[in-house]
Structure 1
Amino acid sequence: MLEVIYVVRHAFRLGWTVNPTTGVYSTTTGASLSPTGIAADPVLSAHGVAQSLELAQHLRHVQPPVDVVYSSPWYRCLQTLKPFTDEWCAYGKPAGKVKVEPGLGEFFGTAHFKHPSASSVEKLSTLFDNLDRSYTPVRYPNAHGETIQELHDRIAYTLNEIIAVLDADPSQPKSLLICTHAASMIAIGRVLTGQMPADPDTLDFKAYTASLSRFRRKTLELPHYKHEQETMTSDGPSASAKSGAFPKVRYQNYGIRGFWECEQNANADYLSGGPERGW
């Protein structure tokens, strides 16, 4: 089964603004439009590019080594991974392509307008090599945004499906690397460990730019626990990845398909600038 999950927040990016009345997104002054043509999909800053190179150097030496890579579909995440994944994919491993998963994507708050959607994998494949174009996404975020609770539910459902697939994979991957965003990185820590605070503003899991968290699966999956977890995940309506409703996974005090322990909480020791832009 999967043993370790590494979680990275994208490196330092350029910015955007949004008009809360019209819902029109714009790049901030001096920022060029993203190669995807989406204002809310900026590239990394020069500092962020430097962070991505330092991150890649660190990821080359993690133990266990990375077996599978999943990423949010936003440009800044794939750009953050690129220095590492270009080399990683060149190894020719069976799982050596990046799986683009919208269910691990950016958090937008609820709004009366539609937020921008990330680019398709077909479009992204013209900008990045080594994306898995055959991969079927688990989940798409609500176009009108989410509450904090809905963000956690979306992350829990997405991770539950991903971990189930990797546990059943004949190649027996031991480690998974995810690149995501600040709010999603915090939510990942909470749903994996089952430690969901009563106040979502609690400072628990951190999310510095280009930082790395590591979660290790505990050996506490007993038969009665697995049965209860499977029962919980089957509750609710069946749903396609794009529909509004999806089964809710019970993660509070349970974790996702086993208990996961946080061994590193947004480690940034390998970055020359140290921890930056906490969220």
Structure 2
Amino acid sequence: MVLKYICLIRHGSREKYGDVKVTKIGSFNDPSDWYGHLHGPDDQLTATGRQQAQELANYLSSSHPEISAVYTSRHYRCLETIKPYVEICERDGKAINFRLDMGLSEWRRVDRKQARIPSIRQLKEYHPTLDAQCQSLCNPLGHENLDEFYARNAYFLANLIQSLDNDPDGPESVLLCTSASNIAWMARILMGKYPKNSMERDFSVPAISFYKFARRHVVPVNIDAGEKTPLGYPRVEWQNGTSIGGSWEITHNAECNFLSTGSMMLWTPSDIPKSLPPFEALQIPEPGFPNFFDIQELNSAAMTGPRVETETTITSTAVEILV
């Protein structure tokens, strides 16, 4: 079945931002010390964010019944955002393919700390039907400058569209849950828009904002595996007005009218830190910080004793066994 729709959703209001109302179109700069906190890179939703996630679930199930596949980032705030919708689908007996993909991970910038990837055991305990063992369509390969971040998102989308087009039982509509910068970059890629100024405010991304792209013209996806970026992503052509897999029209742009909270936690491309060079040196990422699941287990172990077991852990490049 040919893929007809791609839907994007940003995670809900998260702890390190707090419940920030959008009062005007403007930048929302990252406090510089957030990523120094133990659980800053992988925090949970606020109570408002959890309410938003439930309202999103109700909206999607009633207004977009054609969605039958969900891909989520491995970050806890994204898992927590999309889980209520998956639960509604399962409760109503609707078949839904729910999987995690590393290609939706947040921008791996040199100025940003990364949390450890959750293990398969942690993810399966969180939601039993989450397909945590599938091979990701794309893996982050290191610290990414602006061009490499474009390349990763383009390669992920190309792999997604190609794999679903070639699947006779594939979905007609897919929902991707990720972070704000990924959504702005993927929106540009699907529209074939490459602004000269990467900080142009062409897409604003509030919390739980919903985007939908309809495929108006279908062409086979072309991935040139022989030509790669310096970091190692295969090059995918999209910048000259021809988008990936044909042409895509945006039908829902930052829709938030289903939220009782209204727009919150606005992010625009202009929020990229001014100190981040557009062509920073490629570097190997440092070891990850504890993820949200790790922190909960550490807190539990402090009260009940450590948990000793062998577990399978997802890494950015492979699946390995850790003791």
SS at match of 1:116: coil
Q: State the TM-score, normalizing by the size of structure 2.
A: 0.71
**RMSD between superposed Cα atoms in Å:** 2.6
CA distance 1:186–1:246, shift in 2 (3 Å): same
Corresponding residue number in structure 2 for 1:276: 264
Corresponding residue number in structure 1 for 2:209: 211
Find out whether 1:8 has 2:9 as its counterpart: yes
The CA deviation string for residues 154-184 of structure 1, in whole angstroms up to 9 with x for no partner, is: 0110111111111111214110000000000
The CA deviation string for residues 102-151 of structure 1, in whole angstroms up to 9 with x for no partner, is: 1111113225x9633432343222222321134111222244x2112211
> Contact conserved, 1:7 with 1:177, CA < 8 A, in 2?
yes
Give runs of aligned pairs for residues 111-130 of structure 1, distance below 5 A. 111=111, 115-130=114-129
Corresponding residue number in structure 2 for 1:202: 200
CA distance 1:62–1:233, shift in 2 (3 Å): farther
> Contact conserved, 2:206 with 2:266, CA < 8 A, in 1?
yes
> Contact conserved, 2:141 with 2:232, CA < 8 A, in 1?
no
Which amino acid counterpart does residue 5 of structure 1 have in structure 2? I
* Structure 1 position 91, deviation (Å): 4.9
> Gapped runs of 5+ residues in structure 2?
18-29, 268-323
Corresponding residue number in structure 2 for 1:193: 191
> Gapped runs of 5+ residues in structure 1?
28-32, 34-38
Distance 2:37 2:113 in 1: 14
Q: 2:233 aligns with which of 246, 251, 258?
A: 246
The CA deviation string for residues 61-96 of structure 1, in whole angstroms up to 9 with x for no partner, is: 2345211110111000010001111122345555x2
CA distance 1:126–1:194, shift in 2 (3 Å): same
Distance 1:78 1:211 in 2: 16
Distance 1:114 1:218 in 2: 39
Corresponding residue number in structure 2 for 1:76: 77
Q: State the TM-score, normalizing by the size of structure 1.
A: 0.82
CA distance 1:191–1:120, shift in 2 (3 Å): farther
Distance 1:60 1:72 in 2: 21
CA distance 1:189–1:63, shift in 2 (3 Å): same
Find out whether 1:233 has 2:224 as its counterpart: yes
Corresponding residue number in structure 2 for 1:107: 107
CA distance 1:236–1:120, shift in 2 (3 Å): farther
Find out whether 1:25 has 2:26 as its counterpart: no
CA distance 1:128–1:25, shift in 2 (3 Å): farther
**Bigger Rg, structure 1 or 2:** 2
> Contact conserved, 1:211 with 1:268, CA < 8 A, in 2?
yes
SS at match of 1:236: strand
Corresponding residue number in structure 2 for 1:36: none
Find out whether 1:156 has 2:154 as its counterpart: yes
Which amino acid counterpart does residue 196 of structure 1 have in structure 2? Y
> Contact conserved, 1:86 with 1:129, CA < 8 A, in 2?
no
> Contact conserved, 1:69 with 1:178, CA < 8 A, in 2?
yes
Corresponding residue number in structure 2 for 1:176: 174
The CA deviation string for residues 218-251 of structure 1, in whole angstroms up to 9 with x for no partner, is: 1253xxxx4xx52x5334259xxxx951211111
CA distance 1:190–1:68, shift in 2 (3 Å): same
